[in-house]
Amino acid sequence: MEMYMLPSVITDIIGSQLMIVLSFLSLRYTFLLIRREPDNFLWGFLHYFCIALAIFAISRAVGHMVKQALLISDQKEIWKMISPFSGGINTLLMISVSAVTIYYHKGVEGYRAIQQKAESLRHANRNLEKATTTMKEMNLHLEEMVESRTQDLALSEEKFRNFFHNSKDMVFFIDKEGAILDMNKAGLEMLDYSKEKPPRLSLNHLFANINDLEDFQNTLSSQKFVEDFEAELIKKDGSIIYALLSATGIYDENDEYVGCEGIAKDLTRLKTMTAQMISTEKMASVGQMAAGVAHEINTPLGIILGYSQLMKDDFPENSEEYENLVVVERQSHACRKIVADLLKFSRQSGSSAQEVNINEILTDVIAITEHNLHLDHIDIEHCLAEDLPVIAGDEEKLRQVFVNLINNAQHAMEDEGGVLTVRTSFSKEEQMVTASVIDMGTGIDEKIRSRIFDPFFTTKSVGKGTGLGLSVSYGIIKDHNGTITIESPVMYKNSCQLTPGTAMHVRLPVLGQDDNRESTPATDNQLLEKDKNG
Q: What is the pLDDT of residues 468-520, one digit of tens each?
A: 577 778 878 888 889 998 888 776 554 434 457 889 999 999 987 444 434 33
Given pLDDT bands bounded at 50, 70 and 90, which one contains residue 340?
low
Higher per-residue pLDDT: 222 or 11? 222
Q: In what order do the strands lie in the sheet with 418-427?
A: 378-383, 418-427, 432-438, 503-509, 483-487
In this predicted structure, the answer to whether residue 105 has a pLDDT above a threshold of 70 is no
Report which listed range, 368-372, 442-446, 506-510, is most confident: 506-510
Task: Quote the percentage of the chain above a pLDDT of 90.
Answer: 8
Given pLDDT bands bounded at 50, 70 and 90, which one contains residue 360?
very high
Is the CATH code 3.30.450.20 the one for domain 167-266?
Answer: yes
The greatest distance separating any two alpha carbons of the chain, rounded to the nearest whole angstrom, comes to: 198
Dihedral class, residue 443 (left if φ above 0, else alpha if ψ from -120 to 50, else beta) = left
**Among 380, 383, 392, 394, CA closest to 359:** 383
**pLDDT recorded at residue 523:** 35
In this predicted structure, the answer to whether residue 402 has a pLDDT above a threshold of 80 is yes
In this predicted structure, the answer to whether residue 348 has a pLDDT above a threshold of 60 is no
SS3 356: strand
CA distance 114 to 467: 100
**pLDDT recorded at residue 457:** 62
| Mean pLDDT of the 322-336 span | 84
CATH number for the segment(s) 354-518: 3.30.565.10
Interior angle at CA 79, CA 77 and CA 85, nearest 5: 125
CA distance 235 to 232: 10
Helices within 103-180 (DSSP H only):
104-166
Interior angle at CA 317, CA 313 and CA 318, nearest 5: 150
Residue 297 phi/psi, 5° resolution? Answer: -80, -30
**Among 218, 248, 255, 214, CA closest to 231:** 214
Among the residue ranges 135-149, 271-285, 517-531, the one predicted with the least confidence is 517-531
The H-or-E segment that residue 3 falls in is none
Among the residue ranges 261-270, 338-347, 357-366, 383-392, the one predicted with the least confidence is 338-347
Return mean pLDDT, the chain: 77
SS3 264: strand
Given pLDDT bands bounded at 50, 70 and 90, which one contains residue 154?
confident
* Residue 406: other Cβ atoms inside 10 A: 25
| Mean pLDDT of the 249-264 span | 88
SS3 447: coil
**pLDDT recorded at residue 308:** 86
Q: What are the percentages of helix, strand and coil residues in the chain, rounded to 5?
A: 60, 15, 25
Q: Which residue(s) pair with 490 in the sheet?
A: 499
